[in-house]
Amino acid sequence: MARELLPQDLRAAASWAVSLLRARLEPRPAERRTLVIKRDPKSHHHHPCDGDAALYIDVLQYLATRIDLRSMRRLCLSGDVSGSRKVLSMEPGDSMIDNFEGVAFTWASVVGEGRRGAVAESLELSFDAEHTDMALGRYVPFITASAEEARRQDRSPLIYMNEGSWWSGMNYHHPATFDTLAMNPELKQSVIADLDRFLKRRDYYRRIGKAWKRGYLLYGPPGTGKSSLVAAMANYLHFNLYHLDLSESVHVIEDIDCYFSAASRDDGKDQAGDDVADDSDDDVGKKITPSGLLNFIDGLWSTSGEERIIIFTTNYKDRLDRALLRPGRMDMHVYMGYCGWEAFKTLAHNYFLIDDHPLFPEIQELLSAVEVTPAEVSEMLLRNLLVD
């Protein structure tokens, strides 16, 4: 009826008006952005768009932890299939969605033709244009940080020993963990919290212009678990153990009081700038001087590498130079004392898998009356069985 009653020009104008109104009322399709992360082709003539092997691997490892097995029909399985190192990834041509801070990011695995006809593999990240700042400023950095943390958790620590003019490394299999460590529970938690806080503050240290390092002093009588705490810290962080390495590691200087006393800085024999001094009076041989050690902590050690932890242990804190004890060198002082009741319960659980026993009240009373180290208690537990 409209076609019969309305002229052609009027009908065309009405149709245009309806289309315009529909276009204004209906939401426009969101503008999309795509980031292409190419696999490094190992070309001798590297171009910025050729690819970044490190970033590609980071994304691949991250997406392996985000794959939803229920939503994907085909997956690529690699790694040690018989063991625990299985890695899942998308097949070329497939895609998946990863939600980050409430925003859906789409990943696609793409294989195409690259430069000079070579096969080019890439991972493409697509998102709404309004989330570009989030993608570049938070999402991609989160992916790289997550991949690095996963690698750190997966690696086995090494311990490097000094053998004259070189260092030799070996696998570090010390069984000590914070769960098995016999020490005051509140003190143990404070150490764990301090380590966690240190690990999360790389950007903070960089912003305030400080080297990303942390120093710990473990002090107390012999046999109170200082070396076990060092091992627990290394296993918790998954850091390597070195003495003078300047990469990501835990640096341990044990029995520091044996190298110099508080009075040695004022000794006329200690020449400024010397790293090693002769001590002919007590026939101990060459020792590390305070000036040399402080130069190591404040100098080269403060300007090289990534996160670093240095741990000093001593039986005699009062013998140390006050300049060495200040924050920035030994930031956290941890007193490892005699075996208390909570520490004993940890040892009893470690050795006998028990949390209670009729002898516990008597043992608790004895521990409050005598000074005994965790090492001595451990030896007694090895020799004797608690029986009903």
* Other residues' Cβ atoms within 10 Å of the Cβ of residue 61: 19
Same domain, 70 and 145: yes
Residue 227 included in any domain: yes
- Cα dihedral 260, 264, 265, 267 in deg (nearest 10): -150
Same domain, 119 and 68: yes
Q: What is the number of structural domains in the chain? A: 3
Give the range of the structural domain holding residue 256, as residue numbers without chain letter. 169-263+288-335
DSSP 262-294: GGGGG-TT--TT-SEEEETTTT-EEEE-HHHHH
DSSP 7-66: -HHHHHHHHHHHHHHHHHHSPPPPPEEEEEEEPP---SS--TTT--HHHHHHHHHHHHTT
Q: CA 136 to CA 139: how far, in whole Å?
A: 6
The pLDDT score that the predictor gives to residue 271 is: 37
Same domain, 228 and 106: no
Q: For residues 240 and 252, is the Cβ–Cβ distance under 8 A?
A: no
The pLDDT score that the predictor gives to residue 108 is: 92
Consecutive 10-residue runs of the chain (388 residues): their mean pLDDT? 63 69 67 87 51 83 84 72 64 88 92 67 92 94 89 76 69 87 95 93 84 90 93 88 56 65 49 34 48 65 68 88 84 95 94 92 94 93 67
Residue 117 included in any domain: yes
Q: CA 315 to CA 255: how far, in whole Å?
A: 7
Same domain, 117 and 201: no
- The half-sphere exposure of 260 on its side-chain side, counting CA atoms within 13 A, is 26
The pLDDT score that the predictor gives to residue 249 is: 64
The pLDDT score that the predictor gives to residue 131 is: 93
The pLDDT score that the predictor gives to residue 281 is: 40
The pLDDT score that the predictor gives to residue 242 is: 73
The pLDDT score that the predictor gives to residue 310 is: 86
Same domain, 124 and 191: no
Would the pTM count as exceeding 0.85? no
Output the domain CATH number for residue 238.
3.40.50.300
Residue 357 included in any domain: yes
Q: Which two tokens stand for residue 380?
A: 């007694």
Residue whose tokens read 């965790």: 374
Rounded to 5°, angle at Cα 142 from 141 and 146: 120
